[in-house]
């Protein structure tokens, strides 16, 4: 009975971890192809965004699905004058595709377009504090001297109001969505907007690729245990023809398994592929650049989209590592993976293979 209870507990834990990992990876996938370029000062205006779309090449218009400039002002008073309520939160002023600022978090209504300078989007927390409910599409709020009408609600636990800004206003932050473009190509297409002295960059392709790798980490253990089990059973087969067939089939199956896992787990852009596979300096330089990029991103204030992205990545990594350790512990307990207690068994298998 204890044996079956142990198996059931492992299956339940594995199922929960798989669910968390898959769900978090689904959230992370929304950022695949997105990139953020952040500065300490205003570098672009709403008019530049309009000029960009008017003069952009056909390739840029086809590949770039969304583009937004934005700025965040903290400790802004947001009022509901009809109920006499107010709160202090963040005011995000945007121009362009507002959805990129809070990817995947819209729960009611719609985002505000460039032509709607009197519309706004509130977070669920702000809606509940100001109105006592989040079913408030069409209601009015006041920010400073301006009155805005609520167009949408986003699922965030922070106090937040998002509005579209005037064309003449300046912005320090840029986010773009180009699902099929590597970061380097995206920067080339946005050369007139993205300045070379960018303080920090958020690359969605990188973190989605890392997330996929960690989620498939347990598959390597399953493949290794499966190969070891096949080799163990092969030694018990007395039929020489069948045994010889398994001796040839196991390495082929192992090779196909490795290729299959690599194919589904590694998903990076063309920036991660060298022009020549013998260029080993490419990999060390690439690792150095991406490490610096990640450290710089982590060392600066997070934008909302980056907080969602990095939180999802952390959940995927934790789920993948914990699932790997859970399966590894189960395999060691069953004796499928050699532990210190089964060292003699391991060495005997090695000697048998050598003979």
Q: For residue range 45-86, what is the model confidence (pLDDT) as tens digits? A: 999 999 999 988 898 899 999 999 999 999 999 999 989 999
Angle, CA 89 vertex, CA 84 and CA 95 arms, to 5°: 110
CA atoms within 13 A on the CB side of 215: 28
Count CA atoms within 13 Å of residue 303 on its CB side.
25
Measured in Å, how far apart are the chain's first and last C-alpha atoms? 41
pLDDT band, very low/low/confident/very high, at 342 (cuts 50, 70, 90): very low
Distance CA 23, CA 40 (A): 34
Distance of CA 113 to CAs 52, 120, 128, 217, 246, Å? 17, 10, 24, 42, 63
Instruction: Give residue-wise pLDDT tens across range 81-106.
Output: 989 999 999 999 999 999 999 988 99
Ordered DSSP codes for 166-201: PTT-EESEEEEE-TT--HHHHHHHTTTTS-TT-SEE
Report the predicted TM-score, pTM, of the whole model to 2 decimal places.
0.85
Q: Alpha-carbon distance 85 to 133, whole Å? A: 13
Instruction: Check if the beta carbon of residue 253 is closer than 8 Å to that of residue 227.
Output: yes
Confidence of residue 311 (pLDDT cuts 50, 70, 90): very high
| For residues 170-185, average pLDDT | 92
Please state, for a pLDDT cut of 90, what percent of the chain lies above it.
55
Lowest mean pLDDT among 198-207, 269-278, 302-311: 269-278
């Amino acid at each position: 009975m204890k044996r079956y209870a142990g198996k059931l507990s492992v299956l339940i834990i594995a199922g929960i971890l798989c669910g968390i990992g898959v769900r978090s990876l689904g959230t992370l996938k929304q950022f695949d192809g997105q990139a953020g370029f952040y500065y300490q000062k205003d570098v672009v205006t709403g008019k530049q965004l309009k000029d960009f779309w008017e003069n952009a090449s056909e390739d840029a218009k086809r590949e770039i699905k969304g583009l937004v400039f934005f700025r965040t002002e903290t400790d802004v008073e947001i009022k509901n004058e009809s109920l006499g309520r107010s709160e202090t939160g963040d005011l995000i002023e945007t121009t362009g595709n507002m959805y990129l600022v809070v990817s995947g978090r819209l729960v009611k209504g719609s985002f505000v377009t460039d032509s709607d300078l009197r519309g706004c989007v509130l977070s669920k927390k702000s809606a509940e504090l100001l109105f006592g409910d989040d079913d408030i599409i069409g209601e009015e709020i006041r920010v400073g001297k301006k009155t805005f009408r609520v167009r949408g609600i986003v699922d965030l636990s922070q106090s937040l109001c998002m509005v579209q800004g005037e064309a003449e206003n300046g912005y320090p932050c840029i986010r773009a969505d180009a699902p099929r473009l590597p970061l380097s190509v995206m920067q080339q297409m946005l050369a007139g907007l993205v300045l070379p002295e960018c303080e920090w960059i958020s690359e969605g392709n990188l973190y989605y690729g890392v997330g996929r790798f960690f989620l498939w980490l347990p598959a390597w253990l399953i493949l290794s245990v499966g190969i070891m089990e096949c080799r163990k059973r092969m030694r018990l087969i007395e039929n020489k023809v069948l045994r010889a067939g398994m001796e040839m089939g196991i390495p082929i199956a192992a090779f196909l398994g490795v290729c299959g896992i690599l194919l589904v787990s590694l998903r990076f852009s063309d920036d991660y592929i060298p022009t020549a596979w013998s260029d080993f300096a490419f990999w060390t330089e690439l690792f150095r650049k991406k490490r610096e990029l990640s450290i710089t991103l982590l060392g600066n204030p997070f934008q909302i989209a980056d907080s969602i992205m990095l939180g999802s990545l952390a959940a995927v990594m934790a789920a993948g590592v914990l699932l790997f350790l859970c399966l590894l512990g189960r395999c060691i307990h069953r004796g499928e993976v050699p532990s210190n207690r089964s060292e003699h068994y391991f060495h005997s298998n090695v000697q048998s293979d050598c003979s």
